């Protein structure tokens, strides 16, 4: 009788301990749960590669469209500040030309000051970006007399400007208009929300003297710094064959170290 009582007592204690100690719970239910769990199919390597590629392309598109972009200047219009072959990053964040109109209302305002170097859509061909320096601000009265810029009647101090032609072409001299406005222009009142742009290389720059002011909504961004500079030739507009392009790329590869302007790496553009 006592043995039966002791056996029942041990069995009750064993059941009580299992209820109190999670480590003693029967694992049979867990096995059943595992057996009935849904096994998700593994992605194939090709699918993972495609998803990664699509994500990367979306990120690159978003970053280069709205945030920053690597670019270069193929002409000498900003010499000596920016040289042909200078590759630099362009800060595009919150500049209106990069965003749909509804987004510009919620973006912070980017301030444009006289003397800033900016990229913008060309008034002649919006698909081609230009990079020039801001000379005239909205509501300024601007005039150029004998290659000197006057803002609201006062000569503008421009330590960055550069000339390659010592001649000054006067009004009424009978020479083509393009030569006259190069050295003598205006006076002109700059409209609201518009800017007068000029290249630092004043005798070799296609700028506001020839095609007018730039709207603030057409400004793309501001250059930051040079990350690579290579001794390249100015832009050649004539059509090139595949063989000519291949020759140019091969030349860059072979002369990378000897023609890289190492001293310009990291140069802040301003």
Q: What is the pLDDT of residues 125-143, one digit of tens each?
A: 888 899 999 999 999 999 9
Q: What is the pLDDT of residue 159?
A: 96
pLDDT of residue 26: 45
What are the C-alpha distances in Å from 89 to residues 116, 221, 265, 269?
15, 10, 12, 10
Residues assigned a catalytic role: 77, 132
Q: What percent of the chain has pLDDT over 90?
A: 54
33 compared with 138, residue with greater pLDDT: 138
Q: What is the CATH number of the domain that holds 234?
A: 2.10.109.10
pLDDT over 70 at 9, yes or no: no
Q: What are phi and psi of 14, to 5 degrees?
A: -65, -45
Residue 108 above 80 pLDDT? Answer: yes
Residue 152 lies in a domain: no
Is residue 135 included in any domain, yes or no?
yes
Does residue 240 sit within a domain? yes
pLDDT tens readout for residues 184-236: 999 999 999 999 999 999 999 999 999 999 999 999 999 999 999 999 988 88
Answer whether residue 28 shows pLDDT above 60. Answer: no
Predicted local confidence at residue 41, as pLDDT: 64
99 Cβ neighbours under 8 A, 6+ residues apart = 66, 107
Please report whether residue 218 resides in a domain: yes
- Domain containing 224 equals 70-139+195-264
Which of left, alpha, beta for 263 (phi over 0: left; psi -120 to 50: alpha)? alpha
Domain-located, residue 24 = no
260 domain residue, yes or no: yes
Number of domains in the chain: 1
* Whole-number pLDDT of residue 117: 97
- The verdict on residue 206 lying in a domain is yes
Q: Residue 94 pLDDT > 70, yes or no?
A: yes
């Amino acid at each position: 009788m006592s043995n039966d009582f002791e056996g029942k007592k041990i069995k009750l204690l064993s059941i009580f301990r299992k209820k109190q100690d999670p480590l003693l719970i029967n694992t049979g239910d867990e096995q059943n749960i595992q057996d009935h769990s849904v096994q998700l199919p593994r992605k194939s390597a090709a699918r993972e590669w495609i998803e990664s590629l699509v994500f990367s392309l979306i990120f690159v598109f978003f970053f280069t469209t709205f945030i920053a972009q690597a670019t270069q200047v193929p002409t000498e219009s900003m010499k000596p500040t920016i040289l042909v072959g200078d590759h630099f990053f362009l800060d595009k964040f919150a500049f209106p030309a990069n965003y749909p109109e509804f987004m510009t209302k919620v973006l912070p305002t980017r301030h444009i000051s006289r003397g800033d170097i900016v990229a913008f859509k060309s008034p002649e061909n919006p698909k081609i970006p230009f990079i020039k320096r801001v000379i005239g601000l909205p509501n300024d009265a601007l005039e150029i007399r004998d290659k000197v810029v006057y803002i609201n009647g006062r000569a503008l101090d421009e330590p960055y400007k550069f000339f390659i032609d010592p001649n000054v072409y006067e009004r009424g001299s009978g020479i083509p208009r393009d030569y006259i406005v190069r050295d003598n222009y205006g006076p002109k009142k700059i409209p609201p929300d518009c800017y007068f742009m000029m290249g630092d290389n004043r005798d070799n720059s296609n700028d506001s003297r020839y095609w007018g002011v730039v709207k603030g909504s057409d400004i793309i961004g501001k250059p930051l710094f040079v990350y690579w500079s290579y001794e390249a030739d100015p832009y050649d507009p004539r059509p090139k064959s595949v063989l000519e392009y291949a020759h140019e790329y091969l030349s860059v590869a072979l002369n990378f170290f000897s023609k890289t302007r190492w001293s310009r790496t990291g140069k802040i553009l301003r």
